[in-house]
């Protein structure tokens, strides 16, 4: 399960960088990674 800290960072970054989030979503779909790995990678 994603920690609150990871989720908070993700929410803030999504709010300030929707394009980056959309690009990440497409990359995750292509790589078939699970959501947790994608969120963690995006937070870093």
pLDDT at residue 3, rounded to an integer: 84
pLDDT at residue 1, rounded to an integer: 66
* pLDDT interval class at 11 (50, 70, 90): confident
User: DSSP characters for the chain?
Assistant: ---HHHHHHHHHHHHH-HHHHHHHHHHHHHHT--HHHHHHHHH-
Q: Which tokens is 20 given? A: 């980056």
Domain count for the chain, please give it.
1
Q: Which tokens is 9 given? A: 């960072």
Round to whole Å and give the CA distance between 31 and 34. 9
Kindly report, residue by residue over 19-40, the tens digit of the pLDDT.
666 676 776 666 665 666 666 6
The parent domain of residue 9 ranges over 4-43
Residue 13: how many other CB atoms lie within 10 Å: 15
């Amino acid at each position: 399960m994603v920690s609150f800290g990871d989720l908070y960072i993700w929410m803030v970054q999504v709010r300030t960088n929707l394009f980056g989030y959309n690009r990440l979503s497409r990359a995750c779909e292509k790589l078939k990674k699970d959501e947790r790995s994608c969120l963690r990678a995006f937070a870093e």
